[in-house]
Chains A and B, each alone.
Chain A
Amino acid sequence: MNRIHNGQFGRRQFLQALGLPAMAAPFLPILNASGRERVFPKRLVLFFTPHGTIWKDWKPTGTEKKFTLGPILKPLERHKKQVNVLAGLEVRAPGVGAPHTKGPAILWTGSPLLNDKTFVRRDGSGGLYFGWNSGPSIDQVIARSVGGVTPYRSLEFGVRSGISHPGSRMIYTGPRQPLPPESNPYGVLGRVFAAGGQTYENLRRQRKSTIDVLKADLDGFKQEAVADDRQKVESHLAAIRSIETRLEQKQVTCKRAPKLADGIDPNARESTPEVLELQQDLLTASLACDVTRIASLQYRVGENDGDRYTWLGIEHDGHHGMSHSGDSNAVEIGNLTKIYTWYADRFARLLDRLASVKEGNGTMLDNTLVVWGSEIAKGNTHSFQRVPFITAGGCGGAVKTGRFLEYGDLVPHNRLLVAMAHAMGVPSIETFGSTDDGRGPLERFL
């Protein structure tokens, strides 16, 4: 068996590994240099829920190592030793765009929106013109270093994740280059995991013929395009080539891939909890079977999630509407706490899944860094101060967990993004994004 060099190993070995029946199980254990210890890859998972939190019910009490979780985070109790609660980070959000609009685009990029006239805000509250993101998100930068060995450099999962707009896109490969999440679990399943059988073989053959023709069309199209447009045609061509590459690879057989029943409409509000569960299953399977090492799960949108949480018995108003209630409005604050507690419960279930995959003496969660954030801190002021960040998993020993880390002086969250890169084995990154004038990883985190 080949050993991993700096957490990487070749595609050929990987494909061979996939061919083995053993790969139907979770990630193939690789022996280290001494031939005894098993080494597992590090993974990064970003998790998003909208509209901040209710601080007083979110913030733990106590000290760094001895603390009590507040009511919102109570569902994380069973993972407490694997979790870090980061209190007091500020997402600096200068420049154009309304808070819910720019929040998602700044969250993982640490960079403001471009000040151009790409978008006009339709309802007008809080902004006029604004552009796309101005920089890449941290996961994509990390993926450039560690993502090349898996079939997918990264996978973006969504749950009713909205239109192509900064308020509903959080992952970016570069300026103006959003990576949309797939909100349809059927799409993920059919694409990423082996359907198998003759039907799939036929489809694969047809797709290869199609791609041959498309590449010829795109080549011709590129010649005719003016210089300004050529980059976009190149991107289209690159997208088609990526699909082609995947067709050449053996499709991943993964016992962890869930079976999906027919009849779930991923666009329907009522299906939301169910789709979230399925997407977590698929995300876990794609990490466990090493389809990718970088994943994100975007639950809904930053820009005004109007969902009514009927499954929590909250029928009278949508989340965004309620989030504007004053601090003294005990009824609505209670309802919001219910929603945020539900988010924590779903986050805990994601951790359950990651922890259910055995890796050596530990679990996949031990080798993963999960980071949960939101586009703002507080709904009724749209504040970006004290945005609630939770991390989970030790990232292969890089992150000390089980701690309540309080930052009293509003540390820019860019330092967390830097720390994430370091934890994932990309220490060359000293600063990330353009909204921070300082440098280095978040203190005490690693």
Chain B
Amino acid sequence: MRLGLLVRLFPLLLGAGCTTARVATPEPAPPLPIAKSKPPAPAPRCEVSAGPAPLRRLTRDQYINSVFDLLAGKDPSAATSLRGLRGVSTVASMTLPADETVGPFRSNVVAAPTELDAQQLMEASERAAEVAANQLARFYTCEAGSDPAACARRFVDSFGRRVFRRPLRAVESDRYTQLFLQEARSGGPADGLRSVVSTLLQSPYFLDHTREDGAAAAPGVVELGPYALASRLAYMLWLSAPDEALLDAAASGSLATPAGLRAQAERMLADERAQRAIVNFHLQWLGIEDVSSTPKNSKLFPFWSSDRKGGGLYPFREAIRRETEQFVDHVIRHGDGKLDTLLTAPFSFVDEALFGYYGITRPANYDPSRPVALDPKQRAGLLTQGSFLAFHAHTAQSSPVARGVMVRKNLLCQDLPDPPPDVNNNPPDPDPKLTTRERFEEHRLDGVCGGCHKLIDPIGFGFENYDAVGQYRERENGNPIDATGELIEAGDVGGAFDGAVQLANKLAKSKKVQTCYVKQWFRYALGRMETEADACSLKTAEDEFERSGRDVRALLLVLPTTDSFRMREVTR
């Protein structure tokens, strides 16, 4: 199948042995192939069990997307007004509380909210509410002659349900309706609406992930209520709050059935909003969220920081970040969906600014929204994209350690012990006569460092064909690059390889990587590390993932059906 793809993508390459790749002929984007997927295999027989669900505040991205979906919808002017929420507007730019992390992922489960956090959220909510109040008619109408109290309650109940991700209880409905009427008395309905929106957005029922228990499932395990389940599903697949349809499914009870749950998950995965979560997951998984703000040596790589625009973005860095974003969304939602493709695809989405960087000439019929073929001897999937290679490198030189550690920890889910205290972990100073690899060899030979660095560096050396920004190179300081590497203590993926393309292909076939990828999605979806009680759910998810040929869509559809996702351990 990969050969077939190559033949399609590389008509000239194969014929002429030329290193210049050509773009694929534009084709209409295939429909999302989710609906055709086979029903999942029956779950293995397992005790019902699930890990805990600690109180978890929305992350910044979850907050911003939720507010955006609530208030902007598809309205472009509201979208513009809300952009300040992202903290990139110039004047008095909004500040939201910073996130914590769990594993590679953002999740706010430990530190309690401080006064400053509450202040910042108050100010952000007020700004968002102002946007709504300025567009009153989009949110609130009251026919002449009708009872203002009834109109207020209608707004509070319908809008409040979206914000709280569940229907308001009577006492809450009263409380917010009263707030509306009290504020409207002096300033009219716009004031009432402003206060209600601002307050709803500061309520713990919005800021914290929804808690709602259903029936007991087993001793010490309780099912989530339908709205908590809907909320989990929406933040996993959309990085945002549930929409009306999902809340309706929770209300009708259909979400509680396996078929209803799957139908919603399929619908949501097909929706554009799924792009946010898929992108967010992969950037965090690969540790490259901040690639746009990572500096590089400007003498060696002037293009990295050139032509900055007024908005503060560096076009080159944005282009390599966008490449990865487009790529993961394309593969998972419009392509074959396979983990194998994510890790080995010899194509990507290449902005014009990146043609030189990837050593390709502008393809005929170039279309930035279509995949562009890259030299398959140089590039294979995510780990050979500029974003990964450049972020996991020093400013002037590559970093075999950083790249090796990412593979070991984030792709293989293996822990590494701490380095000894007071170790000098400088990168060795560049020596114009040596390659990076030669300079780093000391790590492995040193008695103290070698114990761990033999687990790390021989993986990282496989990436030595890519410099500090991820450009392909065959020589360094005049010396030929040696990109041979080895994975030790790595189970089925162990053994020698030569270069990142071979490494990527090894990883793509590995069961260990498969297990880890499932685990990472689990952590992302639940915002916590796995516990022993989650073992069965992880196995269910992995079995289905494997059965589907490692189709990420199948994984995203099965994960919400597992015990750990639908239930929680009863804690104190």
Contact A226 B571 (CB under 8 A): yes
Residue of A168, A178, A263, A382 touching B111 (CB-CB under 8 A): A178
Residue of B101, B172, B195, B205 touching A210 (CB-CB under 8 A): B195
Question: How far in angstroms is the closest Cβ of chain B from A181?
Answer: 8
Residue of B118, B194, B208, B299 touching A239 (CB-CB under 8 A): B118
With A and B bound together, what is the CA distance between A408 and B297 in angstroms?
A: 39
Pick out which of these stretches binds chain A: B75-83, B87-95, B492-500.
B87-95
List of A residues within 8 angstroms of B171 by Cβ: 220
Residues of A210-269 whose CB lies within 8 A of B: 210, 213-214, 216-218, 220-221, 224-229, 231-236, 238-240, 242-243, 262-269
Q: In this complex, what residue of B is CB-closest to A178?
A: B111
Q: How large is the interface on A (under 10, 10 to 19, 20 to 34, 35 or more residues)?
A: 35 or more
Contact status of A120 and B394, CB under 8 A, knowing A132-B110, A228-B571, A326-B426: no
Contact B424 A180 (CB under 8 A): no
Contact A262 B55 (CB under 8 A): no
Residues of A189-213 whose CB lies within 8 A of B: 190-191, 203, 206-207, 209-210, 213
* Mask of A146-186 contacts with B, CB within 8 angstroms, 1/0: 00000000001000001111001000000011111111101
Contact A236 B402 (CB under 8 A): no
Contact status of A96 and B418, CB under 8 A, knowing A125-B401, A163-B99: yes
Residue of B90, B98, B211 touching A265 (CB-CB under 8 A): B90
Contact status of A187 and B120, CB under 8 A, knowing A308-B298, A326-B429, A381-B422: yes
* Mask of A260-296 contacts with B, CB within 8 angstroms, 1/0: 0011111111000000000000000000000000000
Contact A214 B202 (CB under 8 A): yes
A335 interface hit (Cβ, 8 Å) = no
Contact status of A315 and B298, CB under 8 A, knowing A324-B426, A381-B422: yes
Q: How large is the interface on B (under 10, 10 to 19, 20 to 34, 35 or more residues)?
A: 35 or more
With A and B bound together, what is the CA distance between A177 and B98 in angstroms?
A: 14
B417 interface hit (Cβ, 8 Å) = yes
List of A residues within 8 angstroms of B92 by Cβ: 184, 186-187, 190, 262
Residues of B234-289 whose CB lies within 8 A of A: 287
With A and B bound together, what is the CA distance between A396 and B263 in angstroms?
A: 71
Q: In this complex, what residue of B is CB-closest to A126?
A: B419
B214 interface hit (Cβ, 8 Å) = no
Residue of A127, A179, A184 touching B114 (CB-CB under 8 A): A179
Pick out which of these stretches binds chain A: B176-184, B479-487, B532-540.
B176-184
Q: In this complex, what residue of A is CB-closest to B298?
A: A315
B198 interface hit (Cβ, 8 Å) = yes
Question: How far in angstroms is the closest Cβ of chain A from B275?
Answer: 23
Most buried by A among B92, B415, B417: B92
Contact B425 A125 (CB under 8 A): yes
Contact status of A236 and B113, CB under 8 A, knowing A122-B104, A180-B98, A210-B199: yes
Most buried by B among A124, A162, A165, A266: A124
* Mask of B197-211 contacts with A, CB within 8 angstroms, 1/0: 011001111001001
Question: How far in angstroms is the closest Cβ of chain B from A133?
Answer: 10
Contact status of A187 and B91, CB under 8 A, knowing A124-B409, A240-B118, A317-B297: no
Most buried by B among A126, A129, A176, A206: A206
List of A residues within 8 angstroms of B456 by Cβ: 124
Q: In this complex, what residue of A is CB-closest to B402?
A: A123
Question: How far in angstroms is the closest Cβ of chain A from B179?
Answer: 5
List of A residues within 8 angstroms of B293 by Cβ: 269, 306
With A and B bound together, what is the CA distance between A238 and B114 in angstroms?
A: 8
Contact B195 A206 (CB under 8 A): yes
B141 interface hit (Cβ, 8 Å) = no
Question: How far in angstroms is the closest Cβ of chain B from A211?
Answer: 9
Residue of A156, A206, A227, A267 touching B194 (CB-CB under 8 A): A206
A318 interface hit (Cβ, 8 Å) = yes
* Mask of A86-117 contacts with B, CB within 8 angstroms, 1/0: 00000000101000000000000000000001
With A and B bound together, what is the CA distance between A221 and B210 in angstroms?
A: 11
List of B residues within 8 angstroms of A224 by Cβ: 211
Question: How far in angstroms is the closest Cβ of chain A from B358?
Answer: 24
With A and B bound together, what is the CA distance between A317 and B396 in angstroms?
A: 8
Question: How far in angstroms is the closest Cβ of chain A from B401?
Answer: 6
Residues of B326-353 whose CB lies within 8 A of A: none
Contact status of A209 and B195, CB under 8 A, knowing A120-B104, A123-B405, A316-B297: yes
Contact B405 A125 (CB under 8 A): yes
Contact A124 B405 (CB under 8 A): yes
A32 interface hit (Cβ, 8 Å) = no
With A and B bound together, what is the CA distance between A210 and B119 in angstroms?
A: 12
B392 interface hit (Cβ, 8 Å) = yes
List of B residues within 8 angstroms of A220 by Cβ: 171-172
Contact B409 A380 (CB under 8 A): no
List of B residues within 8 angstroms of A156 by Cβ: 116
With A and B bound together, what is the CA distance between A231 and B54 in angstroms?
A: 12
List of A residues within 8 angstroms of B427 by Cβ: 324
Question: How far in angstroms is the closest Cβ of chain A from B198?
Answer: 6
Residue of B100, B405, B406, B423 touching A164 (CB-CB under 8 A): B100
A25 interface hit (Cβ, 8 Å) = no
List of A residues within 8 angstroms of B120 by Cβ: 182, 187
B97 interface hit (Cβ, 8 Å) = yes
Q: In this complex, what residue of B is CB-closest to A232?
A: B112
Question: How far in angstroms is the closest Cβ of chain B from A233?
Answer: 7
Contact A120 B101 (CB under 8 A): yes
With A and B bound together, what is the CA distance between A183 and B112 in angstroms?
A: 19
List of A residues within 8 angstroms of B203 by Cβ: 213-214, 217-218, 221
List of B residues within 8 angstroms of A128 by Cβ: 415-418
Contact A162 B429 (CB under 8 A): no
Residue of A125, A187, A206, A221 touching B198 (CB-CB under 8 A): A206
List of B residues within 8 angstroms of A234 by Cβ: 112
List of A residues within 8 angstroms of B114 by Cβ: 177-180, 235, 239
Q: In this complex, what residue of A is CB-closest to B103?
A: A120
Most buried by A among B98, B115, B299, B529: B115
Q: In this complex, what residue of B is CB-closest to A227?
A: B572
Residues of B125-146 whose CB lies within 8 A of A: 126
List of B residues within 8 angstroms of A213 by Cβ: 175-176, 179, 199, 203
List of A residues within 8 angstroms of B205 by Cβ: 217, 221
With A and B bound together, what is the CA distance between A96 and B417 in angstroms?
A: 11
With A and B bound together, what is the CA distance between A381 and B90 in angstroms?
A: 39
* Mask of B399-436 contacts with A, CB within 8 angstroms, 1/0: 00110011011000001111101111111010000000
Contact A235 B113 (CB under 8 A): yes
With A and B bound together, what is the CA distance between A207 and B194 in angstroms?
A: 11
With A and B bound together, what is the CA distance between A235 and B176 in angstroms?
A: 23
Contact status of A264 and B115, CB under 8 A, knowing A164-B98, A187-B123, A382-B425: no
Contact B418 A264 (CB under 8 A): no
Residue of B95, B208, B396 touching A183 (CB-CB under 8 A): B95
Contact A317 B295 (CB under 8 A): yes
With A and B bound together, what is the CA distance between A178 and B182 in angstroms?
A: 37
Q: In this complex, what residue of B is CB-closest to A94?
A: B421
B510 interface hit (Cβ, 8 Å) = no
Question: How far in angstroms is the closest Cβ of chain B from A246?
Answer: 9
A9 interface hit (Cβ, 8 Å) = no
Contact A210 B198 (CB under 8 A): yes
* Mask of B202-229 contacts with A, CB within 8 angstroms, 1/0: 1111001001000000000000000000
With A and B bound together, what is the CA distance between A314 and B222 in angstroms?
A: 58
List of B residues within 8 angstroms of A186 by Cβ: 91-93
Q: List 19 A-B contacts (CB under 8 A).
A: A122-B101, A123-B402, A123-B405, A125-B401, A125-B405, A176-B111, A179-B114, A180-B117, A187-B92, A206-B191, A209-B179, A209-B195, A213-B175, A232-B113, A238-B115, A265-B312, A321-B394, A324-B427, A381-B426
Q: Which residues of A are at the interface with B, using a C-beta cutoff of 8 A? A: 94, 96, 117-120, 122-129, 132, 156, 162-165, 168, 176-184, 186-187, 190-191, 203, 206-207, 209-210, 213-214, 216-218, 220-221, 224-229, 231-236, 238-240, 242-243, 262-269, 306-308, 315-318, 321, 324-326, 329, 380-383
